[in-house]
Each structure stands twice: as structure tokens, then as C-alpha cells.
Structure 1
Amino acid sequence: MSGPWHVAVLMGGWSSERPVSLMSGEGVAKALEARGHRVTRVDLGATPAEGRDLPAKLIAASPDIVFNALHGVPGEDGTVQGLMDVMGIRYTHSGLTTSVIAIDKVLTKQALVPHGIPMPGGMIVKSDSLFEKDPLPRPYVVKPVNEGSSVGVAIVTAEGNYGHPIGRETVGPWQDFEELLAEPFIRGRELTVAVLGDRALCVTELKPKGGFYDFDSKYTDGMTEHICPAQVPDDVAQYMMAVALQSHRLLGCKGTSRSDFRWDDTQGIEGVFLLEVNTQPGMTPLSLVPEQGRYIGLDYGALVEAIIEEALGVPALAGGAA
């Protein structure tokens, strides 16, 4: 379908990432309007009760396509994707099955590790068990199984102030989630690779000023330095891009995805570990996918159009990891 299009930009929702989704959605909407497209902004709502009106809102809008700018549950876990599938509405980004798998860190490991994708080992633990003993030697990481944007991630170190064992009243994700994923802490550097269509774009290094790339570091201006492209050996960069593209393909991602890595730079390629694949990457002014798009020559508006074009059946970009 050639443009201009009528695009419903779906944003908001009631996950912890609602503010980020609203920023992403407004950025997408303004970019599309600037390029001559008709846009209907659709806020999923701030509560599940408000979300029940989504089918009526989409029917009333009757768009050519929905740009899914939701982050977290229920916009990233297959719930909204299944609804739009039933309604026969085309939408951007990954479909139901991919979304179900990719938002769950355990399912992602089960899907990727057998194909040689390097990921940290780990185990599901009951949060209450952390108050009795450590599940792994310190340092280790605990995180929710199905949250994004580093929500609820805690690094438990021997020198930290969580206690030995972790104190029951100590603030952390164990107070908000019954189960957590525990993984060995990978020392080293934080890097990320965006994939658009069938091409890995580049590698960005993230240097948070607070020492950890958490939610605030991601979305607060000035708290994280982005080095794009990352200053890493070429063989490491090419390996990360190949892993990101292979993971995108294995999971069946559509449109764009972002793969997050830790790299122990004392170990060369053997020190590269994929942490997760994000199927609904942020599109805010501080987001990494737009930044990498600019690096390869795609401005923000062209990036948004490329994502829509793939969902409409027009290949976005070709060229593999090169």
C-alpha cells in the first residue's frame, strides 16, 4: 500500500513503562504527521478497565495500520497482538507468538541457547527464598521474568547493602514479584544492537553515570553517555551484530528489535553475552533505535515509515549484518 496512510498510534497502557510509551507514541505521531500521513492517537488507558474500550477505539478509527508504541504488558506480551489478529487489523512490530516468547526471559533462553546464542545461565527463584540464602555466588543479578527497560533489576554484590542474606525489608524487586530470574553477573561493558527489517544497524555502548543502566539512566537526559558506534574491536562488533540478527530471525521478530549485551572485554568474543531481545524498542528522543537509524542515514521519520512499510509488506532494509 502506497502512502499517505491513516495510522493509529497505540500508546500508553498500565505497565510501569507507560510514560515511556506515551513519549514514544507522541514522537511517532508527530513524525508521521510531518510526513503527510493521517494519525489517530489511541491511548490504551492507564488501567485494565480503561483498556476494555480498545476494540471500540480501533473500530472507530478504522486505520490502514496500527503503529504499536506500547511497552510492557499488555502491549508487548502478545495480548494486544492477539486482539488485533482477531480483529483483522494490521500492526507494526512482532506478532503474537514472538511477543509471548521474547518478553519472557526464560522462554527466550530456551528458544535461543540451543541455536548457539550465548546467554548467561540462570534459574527461577521464589523471592522469599532470597531471605534465606543466595541462589548463586555473589555477584549475581535478579530481575523479573517479563519486564523490560531494566525495571526491577538488582545487582547483589558482596559489598552491597542488601544484607547477607538479603533483608526481608530491604527495598528491591523481591518485594514486588513472587518469582525472579537469578543470573550470574557478567562484568564488563553494556552494549546494544538494533535490527531493522533484516539488517543489524550498528553497536552502541552505554556508559551510565550512575554505574548501572537502569530505568532512570535510560530515560533521563544526561544520565547515560551513548557511544555510537561503540569503540570495540571489529570482530566483536561484527559478532554482536550477527548474534542480534540471528536472534531476531530465530524469534520471528518483525519491524525492529533491540538486543542488549554484556561484554567482558578481557575475554574477546568469548566474553559476549546476550541478555535479552526487546521486540518493542523505545522511540523516545533518548532511545537507541532512532540513534542507530541516524547513524546509517535514516532520520526519525524515515525510520518510522520503514517500520510501517515492512508491516505493510514492503521490505524495510536489506543487507544482513553488514
Structure 2
Amino acid sequence: MTSLPGRLRLVVLYGGASAEHDVSRVTAAHVLAAADRDRYTLVPIGIGKDGVWHHNEFAAGALDAGDELPDRLDIEGPVVDPVATVSGAPEDRTVVLPLLHGPHGEDGTVQGMLELFSVPYVGCGVLSSSVCMDKAMAKEVAARAGIPQCAWITMRDGVDDPAEIGEKAIAELGLPVFVKPANMGSSVGVSRAADADALQRAIASALQYDDVVVIEEAVTGREIEVGVLGNTHPETTLPGEIKPGSDFYDYKDKYLTGAAELMIPAPLSDEAVAQARELAADVFTALRCSGLARVDFFYEESGPARGWLLNEVNTIPGFTPASMYPKMWEATGLAYPALIDRLVDLALERHDRRAAFSTDH
């Protein structure tokens, strides 16, 4: 796993101990296939659901030989030490690309380890990763920053009574509502509840994935997403729109049935496009994001007609060529391989800037 002269050593982490494990394996296969092999020595590291790290020698060999990778990488190969893997040899310049969706990867845990060992990595830092992963906390921070969003309440297992929270949700938010585990992505554990009994079942389902649950009002609005790229000066994509194939854009829609319709760019007026892009950059800055994020909105044109409402921020969005984030950048003029290069450059830029901070007092 030693870099060739002149190349960056790019460690790609995938898998992980999360319900989004399989999604991550798909993302990694496409990123590795698209990365510039003249610029990078690619090191695919699969993390099992048991947390054990493996060097995928099969994938590494296929990349060296110019062979095609499967659409989904396995978790295989010799067990490796995480610290030695991310640190590399002293002569190597290593950058880590975490493609770990959900908890134990997107929530600041891996980012914290990389900070401890002073390793450059792609994406948001510890604070923003943690806050954005926790939908309840992200809503609190966004509200303080004046970002418009739909109404919600939060429930914490062992602190709040589900029956009381259910009554409060119906009284304050009405029905139907959406129920989500606070720390999960890819719509895992998300349910739509149209009556009191369904709400209790939805809360129980969400509690299988996290001990904090977010209950949101149902918004009759268009689902619009904007990609953001940058550190202190974020750039944004043309917005994309999702028309779900079912009641909402759920896991099956995203990864199994393909029933959702994706429109890039979204059919919006020039004014609405400008508003969405500006608000996405504001959200990115308010939540202290860096590197990349996908900002998801509801666009409410009828009823209360509140316009743009923040739904959530995804700091490690899906990254296959068919995923919204890279497709929106492609529509904005940045191709998939160039997007990977830009993310690596941003990781090095942020790391070098932070490494210059004084440790004296």
C-alpha cells in the first residue's frame, strides 16, 4: 500500500457498521472506478459491520490492471490496522476519502480519528459531520441561524413518553406526519403516519435505529436538492428535483425500484434557482460544513406557500454516477472524475490551513 512517486495515496473507506453499509459499498465501487489512477495510488479499505478493517486486495489489483470493478465492493482481504492504514509511510502524502454513510462514518467519529492523527480527509469536519447527522440538533442550529424549515418536535427514548409525544405531535403538527430516526440517512427507518396508532408504530420503528426521533409536519411541496462544494467560499449546483414513486422518497425509491423521477436541472424560474442556491450556501456556512454537502429542501408553492424550507443536510451524499450530487455537478459543468479531484484538493487545502494554527499559548 505504498504510493508510487508523484502520486497521492488515496485511502477510500467504505462499508461500515451502519444500516447504510450496502449503499456505501456501491458508492465506493463507482468512486474507485472513476478516480484518476495517474494521480492517485488507490487503497480500498472495506469496514465490516463488526468494525474490522480489511484491505481489499482484489479491488486494488483490478485497479492496477485496469480491470472493471463490480458494481458493489465486497468486504474482503487481510485485516489491517486502522492507524497504520490512514497514516501511511512517512514519504507518502495520504488523503482519506470516507464513503461511510450514516453512523460510525458520517457522524464525526471517523473524522475525529483522522484529526487525531493529522490526516487530511475529504468532507466535513467533526462538528459539522456530527451536527448534520443528528437531524434534531441540525434543526436547532438551523433555526438559530434563521434558516426556514418545516415544523417539528423531538423525542428522546428514556426521557420522553411516546404516548405523550404522539399526542403533542398530533396537536401541534396535525396529521399526517413523518417520523425519522435522528441519526440515520438514506431514508432508513423513516415512516409516514396518518393516524395515532400508525404514529406509535412509526416511533417504535425509528427507535430501532436511534434513541432520538424527529417528528415532522407533512409538507406539500416539491423536493429540491442542491449540491454544495467548497470550504470557506462554497459553490453550488443547479438544483435537482425528485418526484417520488411512492408517498415519499424512501429507501426503495432510492436504491431498489428506481421509480422516482429525477429532473436535473429542476424546472424552476431563474429567481427560484437563485434563491435555492443562495440558501444552500447559507445552510452550508451556518452548519460549518466543508468539502461537500447536499442540501435538501421542500419548495412549498401552495397552501401556506412558505417557499423554501430546509429538509436536511447530507454530508456524505450518494456518490454513484447516477446519484443526485454528482449528476447535479455534471449539469453545472463539473464532470465526475474532476469532482473527485476537487474534493481531494479541498481536503488538502483545509488540512494545510488548520495545520498552520499555533499550539503555543
User: TM-score if structure 2 supplies the norm length?
Assistant: 0.78
* Residues 149-168 of structure 1 aligned to structure 2 (within 5 Å): 149-158=186-195, 164=197, 166=199
Match of residue 201 from structure 1:
237
1 CA distance for matches of 2:11 and 2:110?
14
Shift of residue 186, structure 1, vs aligned partner: 1.0
Matched residues, number: 309
Match of residue 219 from structure 2:
186
Question: In the alignment, is residue 283 of structure 1 matched against residue 312 of structure 2?
Answer: no
Structure 1 residues not aligned, in runs of 5+:
315-322
Equivalent position to 1:146, from 160, 183, 188: 183
Match of residue 320 from structure 1:
none
2 CA distance for matches of 1:107 and 1:44?
27
Q: Give percent identity, aligned residues only.
A: 32
Give the alignment's Cα RMSD to 1 decimal.
2.7
Shift of residue 169, structure 1, vs aligned partner: 9.9
Match of residue 319 from structure 1:
none
Shift of residue 22, structure 1, vs aligned partner: 1.4
CA 1:169/1:78 → structure 2, altered by over 3 Å: closer, same or farther?
closer
Question: In the alignment, is residue 223 of structure 1 matched against residue 259 of structure 2?
Answer: yes
2 CA distance for matches of 1:298 and 1:25?
19
Equivalent position to 1:44, from 42, 47, 71: 47
CA 1:3/1:262 → structure 2, altered by over 3 Å: closer, same or farther?
farther
Moved more, 21-30 or 190-199: 21-30
Query: Residues 142-195 of structure 1: CA distance to partner in whole angstroms, max 9, x if unpaired?
Result: 11111111111111124xxxx646465998324554431111111121111101
Moved more, 47-56 or 27-36: 47-56
Structure 2 residues not aligned, in runs of 5+:
55-79, 351-361
Query: Residues 88-142 of structure 1: CA distance to partner in whole angstroms, max 9, x if unpaired?
Result: 1110101111111111112212222222211122221256844564422211111
Give the letter aligned to residue 180 of structure 2: K
Equivalent position to 1:92, from 122, 125, 142: 122
Equivalent position to 2:24, from 16, 21, 24: 21
2 CA distance for matches of 1:98 and 1:289?
18
Highest CA radius of gyration, 1 or 2? 2
Match of residue 106 from structure 2:
76
2 CA distance for matches of 1:76 and 1:6?
21
Instruction: Work out whether residues 179 and 203 of structure 2, in 8 Å CA contact, stay in contact via their aligned partners in 1.
Output: no
Give the letter aligned to residue 282 of structure 2: Q
Match of residue 268 from structure 2:
232
Match of residue 173 from structure 1:
206
User: Which structure exhibits the higher relative contact order, with contacts defined as CA atoms closer than 8 Å and separated by 6 or more residues?
Assistant: 1
Equivalent position to 1:210, from 200, 221, 246: 246
Instruction: Work out whether residues 193 and 202 of structure 2, in 8 Å CA contact, stay in contact via their aligned partners in 1.
Output: no
Shift of residue 267, structure 1, vs aligned partner: 5.8
Instruction: Work out whether residues 153 and 216 of structure 2, in 8 Å CA contact, stay in contact via their aligned partners in 1.
Output: yes
